[in-house]
Structure 1
Amino acid sequence: MQKYLLAFCLLFTCPAFGQLTSGLTGKKDTSYTNYSAYQSTSKQHPNIKLVREFKLPMVQEKRNLVYCTIGERKLVLDAFYPKKKSKQKTPAILIIHGGGWRSGNRTQHYPLAQRLAALGYACFTVEYRLSTEALYPAAVHDLKAALRWLRTNAKAFNLDTAKFAALGFSAGGELAAFIGTTNKNPKYEGRNCYLNISSQVQAIVDIDGTLSFVHPESGEGNDTRSISAATYWFGYPKKENYVLWEEASPLQHVSKNTPPTLFLNSAVDRMHAGRDDYRKILAQHNIYSEAHTFPNAPHAFCLFDPWFEPTVNYIANFLAKVF
């Protein structure tokens, strides 16, 4: 019944009703992977190369670490950090995968985590509940719980708890920005795991993630051909619950508490909807930001050569500057 109501509301304005759960299949959506991105992207960019995992002797790895348990559900992350322990504490980066809040996997960014760890950062690729399992704001709650776990376990990884960055690609970029713009806002902490610990981040890296679901530049919520990723995540078409779509937009929360932000973008304009308005607000509060666009680059540029190494360099240079 719910899927018919949702289809009706994609065409007509509906009275408010409960959040639709037809997208909660309980099954993993494996449609978005690095290889599937490569297959689609290489049609227009035949010279790209998919970046594979590295074997770096200076990087220590620990995988499948449980950071929060919700009922019987264990949420995990992976750690990539400098093998040689320094007297100086290590900045931490939480790396959030994309996939439309519905697909994708934390393993997609192992190469990025490995390269940044080799440059002296402790990187953590994180799993979070997708829209096949839980609707917004569950993913936000999970990621903030992961940050609290990192602070709780800071000694084990020699982390500098005053130098945490949230980094994400695509949907993960939106989530990284949302986490950072809701610093110090208890509404988005959730109710699970280490609630007396701070989830604050001191830097944001948004790689081609939208800043607003309702901005005129945004392409999110177009359900004319099929149900969009954002509609599945929220459980409402945009016009059925505009307020929720607006609330979930990082642009709605930018303030004096927002940390410095780096934007790395493809040539696909709609993927950085709201970016310029976001930066204007940061500038009003004298908060540093950078934006770099790769000409002619596809949306998934950070997964491929020739854009992977420039991406790493931009991130490392930005974090060195703000940390």
Structure 2
Amino acid sequence: MIRYWLPAKRACKPVLSALAGGLLLAAPARAQQPALPRDTSFTTYSAFVKARKQHPDISIARPPVPATIRSRVNVPYTEASSRPLLLDVFYPKARRHRPAPAVLLVHGGGWRSGHRSQHHAMAQQLAARGFVAVTAEYRLSPEAPYPAAVQDLKTALRWLRAHARPYGLDTTRVAIWGFSAGGQLAALAGTTNADPRYETGTTYRSRSSQVQAIVDVDGILAFTHPESGEGDDRKGLSAATQWLGGSREASPGLWEQASALSHIGPGTPPMLFINSGVARMHAGRDDVRRQLTALGIYSEEHTFPEAPHPFPLFNPWFAPTLEYTVQFLQRVFGRP
């Protein structure tokens, strides 16, 4: 099975702040602040090089930017760890008769790598289909361990509602979409609606961080599960151990708490699962779906058995991933 993050014993590279064409580009550090240590092992291009060995016909998904959308990038949404956290907004140009549903997209990278711009293409295409799509950064494990990433994403959701008017956003129709570690985070953020453990700071606290739909793209639902491959620290600290701040054996309660499976209940929103053929990347999914069915909550599952883990970044899987996402959100929200 393929992992796309560095072992802990490798040195982290200096902070990088932009990703273009699948390559991370170095940016100058902020004045009077040291560069943040950051693992840059997971980029679109590095994942492509690895996946192409088994799938020589794939290509990086770079659809043309639709002429029908607008964008605002590098927008600060809060301050954390003495620095701004940024997001990018893509939204329809045309004025609409009613506000548009919103989607917050969360990147993957083992909770310690990756960049929000890896999902710009998906966000742009969603905007062309009538959604307000936002890609947000969050603090990675070299900077801040769990639950900081979840708290950051909850703050980004509150920012969305606080800025609904400029983007024509419907605050009653908000979804969260995530890939890999981002899928795990999306599922956890979405299943912990109104949980005070994941609300922090004073930024837009009068606004809600609740979501009304979850799209989990190859993100695990349970860390301590027979299907999970997380927590193997025999050759160095695993990505999950680094993020959670302790091993599975030493902190079992924390590992359970960070699992979306532990939070399924009557208030859980509808969920869509889009998966690769890498079985461990959907650990706990079937248990979650059984619980949702018992609660009368809608869920959907689509699997590409032949696909590698980073499939939503590549053709031929990008387009069907987009279609499954749009169809699910239209079912839950109605047409934008």
State the TM-score, normalizing by the size of structure 1.
0.91
Residue 268 (structure 1) aligns with? 278
Retained in 2: the 8 A contact 1:254–1:281? yes
The match for 1:44 among 33, 54, 73 is 54
What residue identity is the alignment partner of 1:81? Answer: Y
1:240 is paired with a residue whose SS is: coil
Deviations 1:166-199 (A, max 9, x none): 0000000000000110012122112241122100
What residue identity is the alignment partner of 2:110? Answer: G
TM-aligned CA distance change 1:210 to 1:72, over 3 Å: same
| Mapped pair 1:236 → 2:246 | yes
| Mapped pair 1:110 → 2:132 | no
Which deviates more from structure 2 when the two are superposed, residues 90-99 or residues 64-73? Answer: 64-73
Residue 303 (structure 1) aligns with? 313
The match for 1:64 among 61, 74, 90 is 74
CA distance in 2: counterparts of 1:248 and 1:285, whole angstroms:
21
Retained in 1: the 8 A contact 2:65–2:121? no
**Count of equivalent residues:** 301
CA distance in 1: counterparts of 2:298 and 2:249, whole angstroms:
34
2:112 is paired with a residue whose SS is: coil
Retained in 2: the 8 A contact 1:68–1:192? no
CA distance in 2: counterparts of 1:46 and 1:71, whole angstroms:
42
CA distance in 1: counterparts of 2:325 and 2:242, whole angstroms:
31
TM-aligned CA distance change 1:71 to 1:245, over 3 Å: closer
| Mapped pair 1:155 → 2:168 | no
Give the superposition deviation at 1:54: 2.8
Give the superposition deviation at 1:56: 1.4
Residue 125 (structure 1) aligns with? 135
TM-aligned CA distance change 1:255 to 1:40, over 3 Å: same
Give the superposition deviation at 1:26: 3.6
Retained in 2: the 8 A contact 1:116–1:123? yes
Deviations 1:40-86 (A, max 9, x none): 00000000010126321101010000100136310010001101121
What residue identity is the alignment partner of 1:90? Answer: A
Residue 261 (structure 2) aligns with? 251
| Mapped pair 1:139 → 2:149 | yes
Give the superposition deviation at 1:310: 0.4
Retained in 2: the 8 A contact 1:53–1:110? no
The match for 1:34 among 31, 40, 44 is 44
The match for 2:197 among 178, 187, 209 is 187
Residue 288 (structure 2) aligns with? 278
What residue identity is the alignment partner of 1:248? Answer: A
Unaligned runs of 5+ in 2: 1-7, 10-34
Deviations 1:106-132 (A, max 9, x none): 010011001111111110000000001
What residue identity is the alignment partner of 1:183? Answer: N
CA distance in 2: counterparts of 1:82 and 1:255, whole angstroms:
34
CA distance in 1: counterparts of 2:280 and 2:288, whole angstroms:
14
The match for 1:166 among 176, 200, 221 is 176
1:239 is paired with a residue whose SS is: coil
The match for 1:176 among 186, 191, 197 is 186
CA distance in 2: counterparts of 1:53 and 1:230, whole angstroms:
33
Retained in 1: the 8 A contact 2:89–2:135? yes
CA distance in 2: counterparts of 1:297 and 1:71, whole angstroms:
37
What residue identity is the alignment partner of 1:146? Answer: A
State the TM-score, normalizing by the size of structure 2.
0.88
What residue identity is the alignment partner of 1:65? Answer: V
CA distance in 2: counterparts of 1:54 and 1:81, whole angstroms:
15
CA distance in 2: counterparts of 1:271 and 1:71, whole angstroms:
30
2:158 is paired with a residue whose SS is: helix
